[in-house]
Amino acid sequence: MSRAAPALLLLLLALVLPGGLRAQEQGLGRSMGSFRLTYYWIVFEADFPGRPEVPLFDSKGKSLALVTTEFARRVSMEGTGVLRDGRVVNLHEECKFAKFGWCFMEVDRRKAPFGYGSTAPLHPFRTVAAPDKIIPRGTVVYIPEYDGMPLPGSEGGFSFHDGCFVVEDTGWSLEGKHLDVFALSEEYYRNLHKQVGEQEKVHVYGESELCPGSAAALYDPSNWARELLGQ
């Protein structure tokens, strides 16, 4: 093997690894360091068989639905759920009279088909949650580990992530350098988990030339994700 061969091999690997080609072409941006990575998603009442015995209350104490204990626990943890009748419910605020400590609100699916984060509608594979003290909400970030990753696409096809996300949510369990990616469904979470891993470190950059400065420019207008919810 010639001396040039190892160098050529390293160059080819850099280009085919996630983010390799684009990273070669443009600057990554301002490094924010390495972050722990986890995921959250929408839960479906239909996936939790059993006797409905736990009411989901709104902030005024009105029962929105009677659900199984496990669904109530999971939707209180994940934040957004789809009821058997198709309604979408979302965490609203803490309340002492609810079994798991949270009250809910019914979501207008025309305005927020995937539910809300702490202040804004959620967007699959774009929204990330982070501690406010670490990354302010509204910040666009670039994660090279996601660049080039295949994602579920319209009509059963595939699209590829560009590594760009928007911090649109926060969470009571997030501390320090910790990102929580909105993966839409548990099935898609498991797919991402296999590709990137959970509890692992990813690199995060702000002000990257690889991402648009506006969060709105990142939102996918296609309806494939809506179809998952029967919309």
pLDDT in tens, 200-228: 789 999 999 999 887 877 776 555 455 55
Q: Residue holding tokens 């736990």?
A: 54
Q: Given this model, what pLDDT does residue 192 score? A: 75
Quick one: fold of 24-41+115-228? Answer: Barwin-like endoglucanases (2.40.40)
Q: Given this model, what pLDDT does residue 154 score? A: 46
Q: Tell me: the pLDDT tens digits for 82-125?
A: 999 999 999 999 999 999 999 999 999 889 989 999 878 999 98
Banded model confidence at residue 14, pLDDT cuts 50, 70, 90: very low
- Determine the length of the chain: 231
Mean pLDDT of 174-188: 90
Torsion sign, CA atoms 123, 133, 73, 94: negative
* DSSP characters over 36-62: EEEEE--EEGGGS-S---EEEE-TTS-
Q: Tell me: the pLDDT tens digits for 32-74?
A: 999 998 899 999 999 999 999 999 999 999 999 999 999 999 9
Banded model confidence at residue 193, pLDDT cuts 50, 70, 90: confident
CB atoms near residue 97 (< 10 Å): 9
Mean of per-residue pLDDT scores for the chain: 82
Q: Given this model, what pLDDT does residue 200 score? A: 73
Q: Given this model, what pLDDT does residue 225 score? A: 57
Cβ atoms of 37 and 181 within 8 Å: the answer is yes
SS3 3: coil
Banded model confidence at residue 230, pLDDT cuts 50, 70, 90: low
CA 188 to the chain's CA centroid? 10
Give me 135's structure tokens.
């990354």
C-alpha 13/C-alpha 146 separation (Å) is 16
Q: Given this model, what pLDDT does residue 188 score? A: 85
- Smallest CA-to-CA distance from 62 within 103, 115, 92, 109 is with 103
Torsion angle of C-alpha atoms 104, 100, 114, 48, degrees rounded to 10: -120
Banded model confidence at residue 8, pLDDT cuts 50, 70, 90: very low
Q: Residue holding tokens 């690199």?
A: 203
Max intra-chain CA distance, the chain: 75
Torsion sign, CA atoms 189, 193, 198, 202: negative
Q: Tell me: the pLDDT tens digits for 132-166?
A: 999 999 999 999 999 988 876 545 556 788 999 99
Q: Delimit the domains of the chain by residue range.
A: 24-41+115-228, 43-106
Give me 207's structure tokens.
């002000």
Q: Given this model, what pLDDT does residue 6 score? A: 38
Cβ atoms of 43 and 72 within 8 Å: the answer is no
Mean pLDDT of 194-203: 74
Banded model confidence at residue 174, pLDDT cuts 50, 70, 90: confident
Banded model confidence at residue 10, pLDDT cuts 50, 70, 90: very low
Amino acid at 114: F
Q: Given this model, what pLDDT does residue 24 score? A: 43
Banded model confidence at residue 231, pLDDT cuts 50, 70, 90: low
Give me 53's structure tokens.
């015995």
